[in-house]
A and B are shown apart, each in its own frame.
Chain A
Amino acid sequence: MNTDVQLKVERQNVSETGAPAAPRTDWRRLFGLREMGVYYALLLLIIVLAFITGYLGRANYLSVLNLSNVVYQSSLIAIMAVAMTVVLISGNFDLSVASVAALAAALLIGNADTLGFWPAAGIAMAAAMAIGLLNGAIVQFVGINAFIVTLGTMTAVRGLVLIYTDGRSLSASDPGVVETMRNFEGGRHDFFWLIVAGGIALLAYGLTEFLKSYRAGAALRPTPLGMTLGGIALLLLAWAADGELLVRNPVIYMGVFSAVVWFTLTFTMVGRRLYASGGNSEAARLSGINVTRYKLMAFVFCSAAAGFAGILFASRLRSINPAGLQGAELTVIAAAILGGTSLFGGAGSVVKTLAGALLLYSLTNGFNIMNLGANWQGLIEGIVVVTAAAIYTVGGGRAKSKTGG
């Protein structure tokens, strides 16, 4: 009897200490499929693959070597997908990324032997950004739908690649150039301590924010939570890596690039205005934002990222096939959609897009490990993309803010 009464009193105390007016944390939303779905899917896939590989007695999926391979394989697509997220947030669409990347690759290979690697890379980037400017200008000033415009440029730029290469494969032969390419693309660095430090920093920051909002009695926000979980994941990785973690250059580029874009979108005025321009361009315009410029720059940015990916691609193979990267634009867009980016603009997150890209490449990697062959891959990937879209559309119930970092 006594204990009953005490319990009651305690409960009352608890409810009284929480500030009455403060909004309650919506745990169901915070951990709901709409917010976290892509992470669950990634986690689930990794666990399933780990069990299957363990059961079949094949090379362990969860080995650090294999995981870093998956990240390496996904890096090119991930860079483009992050940039695609920016275009999608701005309310537009870019189908031409893969063609632009192929053009940049062809220009690099074609000019590197005569001009040297860096000038050729400069030409490639300039050409890529020019196409982005063209895309954006047609969409914004002529007013044609971005889907149609970039469908056209996708085909036309692929045509340019064919014209430039005359339909044959090109390759770089100058030993100096080959060496630069190898260093640029193939270098590895031991990032063990950086990963440890990053993990601790994220964990510490996330937990402090956690405590702060707990003390203030405010609702828990998704960003500190994501940071905490990310920190834990990095520390686990470091623990598994056992003192040495070699990271290849493209992964570093991807990491730095994504971090910069994430920071810009989440914390700067530019990011806020971009979300507003995509979320309601008329309201953004009437708030004094130069919507046209933001949307145009998103195209240029996306094509620049595609150009950079093309340079990485060419440096990896040191040659270019005119059909190289064909179809990659769909993988890029699929990664962004898996990450919950809205096709109608105004919503999207860099981190989730990265998770989407990793999800797609984990699938591919898993198929290879299990010797399932490429025939099944398309079917499964397609089902995964549509399922993800269905979850984002139906699963979350009421649409809440989708524009968290």
Chain B
Amino acid sequence: MQPIEPIMQLRGVTKAFPNGTLALRGVDLDIEPGKVHGLLGANGAGKSTLIKILSGAYRATLGKIIWRGEPVTWDNPKAANDMGVATIHQHIPLVPTLSVLENIFLGNNGSWRRSSASREQFDKLCARVGYWLDPTALVSSLSIGQRQMVSIFQALGTGADLIVMDEPTASLASDERELVYATVRRLSKGENKAILFVSHFLDEVMALTDQVTVLRDGKAVLRAETANLDENQIAEAIVGKQIVALEREAEHRDPVVATGKPLLEVRNLTSPSGLAPISLAVAPGEVVGIAGLLGSGRSELLHAIYGSDRYASGTVAVNGEQIGRSTGAAVKAGIGLVPEDRMAQGLVPDFEIWRNVSLPALHGVSALNSLPIAERERERAWQAIRLLSIKADSPEILVKELSGGNAQKVTIAKWLFSDVRLFLLDEPTAGIDIGAKTEILRLVRQLAGEGKCVIIVSSEFEELIAVSDRILVMRDGRCIAERKTSETTEHELLLLAGGQSATPEVAIH
């Protein structure tokens, strides 16, 4: 193998944020032309920060970026783009009301909306990629896979030599994924482009990439040729060897024995938004973890149980009584949902802590069952602040002024003051610091100890192992495996959720 001069080299890149977080601690990365370079890492490992530095959205605090052998600094995405680095973001930023052609050449300078030159360029692009789209179609009329192709065209249209793809297949169906794979191969092998391919799916990383870098805690912990690796080694590198205190506690925990009637019974629950029929029973005091990647149907399952997905069908029964398909009925039946996006779905940003905390359970603080007494509500909010150690001086603080972890605690506190028996937690620890994380996980165990059910979704499987009694693995809208926590490892969950190749042998080891 003759050595190829890397087109992009990172040397000791470090990124510190003003709030003191060290997202990257000296990362080295070499990306070679004609190769697909896989970038992997758990949530919070620093992938997004690295991508943003490559694309010019952030500036590295320390370290060097060497582009085509010359050290460069770029301050904005446009500068990076002009030099030949294009980034395809996970949430495809296209203008839905413009046509395909207009979106692809959005960054170009020119006076006219329709020019024959851009049309010719578009035809050339199509020929290069081997994929044809109607250039006059509006982006809003395209499927997600087609939109992904538009953003690939957009990146190519700038004449980039390095294309950064941030989880390009996360929300695609399998045939659309194949299309993206084919395009990636064609670009790297056929046109000698360098591609940085970020993904959670281990199987596609194995199949598609030539080299792999794994980030953990802001450091590159594995750098190797894909051919010399297997999925196990990659998973090992992603997980690392840390065991949090909770995991140690988990080892000493007696598994919940499901005796008597289950508290929650779900039968043939399915939803057109991406959930294959699933049946499930949860016993009082049991914590069920849902392991799955983004788009695996994990949030859809929770919303279907909660009744907030009005197109879902199937039956949900609490204590043997079937509940109606509305959020009001679910709350009455004693179900509480902590949604994934706390600011958009969980809280009213302009309300103070106390008005948010009391919102789902106003009856408990009201006179005559209809007049909420503000004093009681404030008292309840004080309780929540003490109970969950929310860092706030008073319940009068507006929730939009709280930090992520504290806002998350408020969304959980909403459900602690009424007779909620089943908690549905959707990524309750996403984007919050380790201290708050541990407190929330402790709370989950405490709730279970009081005989309540918890269904918890998380992309961080070590957390699931730390708190759950049983873990369901979801992929592509269906539950593909179920494991007792004592009989599984984070490693195995990663393999199951991220690839199909997990074999029974792996499961046993």
Contacts and interface: CB of A to CB of B under 8 A. Distances in A.
Interface of A: 21-23, 219, 267-270, 272-273, 275-276, 279-280, 282-290, 346-347, 399-403
Nearest to B369: A269
Contacts of B332: 288
B359 A287 contact: yes
B348 A23 contact: no
Contacts of A219: 394, 396
B327 A283 contact: no
A49 B393 CA distance: 45
10 contacts: A276-B348, A283-B348, A284-B348, A286-B308, A286-B339, A287-B359, A290-B326, A347-B350, A401-B396, A403-B350
A22 B362 CA distance: 25
A283 B338 CA distance: 10
A22 B360 CA distance: 27
A269 B361 CA distance: 10
Contact of A272 (B346, B350, B372): B372
B129 interface: no
Nearest to A287: B360
B398 interface: yes
A283 B396 contact: no
A402 B350 contact: yes
A286 B362 contact: no
8 nearest CB pairs, A to B: A288-B331, A279-B348, A287-B360, A23-B394, A280-B348, A287-B359, A288-B328, A282-B345
A286 B346 contact: yes
B216 interface: no
Contacts of B347: 280, 283
Contacts of A400: 398
Nearest to B393: A23
Instruction: Summarize B's interface: helix, strand, loop or mixed.
Output: mixed
A107 B349 CA distance: 44
B380 interface: no
Interface residues of B, number: 33
B344 interface: yes
Interface of B: 306, 308, 326-328, 330-332, 337, 339, 344-352, 355, 359-360, 362-363, 366, 370-372, 393-394, 396, 398, 414
Contacts of A347: 350
Contacts of A272: 355, 359, 362, 372
A269 B328 contact: no
A287 B351 CA distance: 14
A23 B308 CA distance: 38
- Residue of A273, A280, A282, A283 ringed by the most chain B CB atoms within 10 A: A283
Given A280-B348, A403-B351, 15 more contacts: A23-B393, A267-B371, A269-B362, A275-B351, A276-B348, A280-B347, A280-B349, A283-B345, A285-B308, A287-B331, A288-B328, A288-B360, A346-B350, A347-B350, A401-B396
A370 to B, nearest CB: 40
B383 to A, nearest CB: 15
Given A276-B359, A288-B360, A401 B372 contact: no
A270 B372 CA distance: 10
Contacts of B362: 269, 272-273
A286 B350 contact: no
Nearest to B342: A283
A284 B414 CA distance: 12
A130 to B, nearest CB: 26
- Residue of B330, B350, B360, B371 ringed by the most chain A CB atoms within 10 A: B350
Contact of B396 (A23, A268, A275, A403): A23
B327 A286 contact: yes
Contacts of B349: 279-280
Nearest to B337: A286
A279 B351 contact: yes
Contacts of B371: 267-269
Contacts of B306: 286
Contacts of A23: 393-394, 396
A147 B339 CA distance: 30
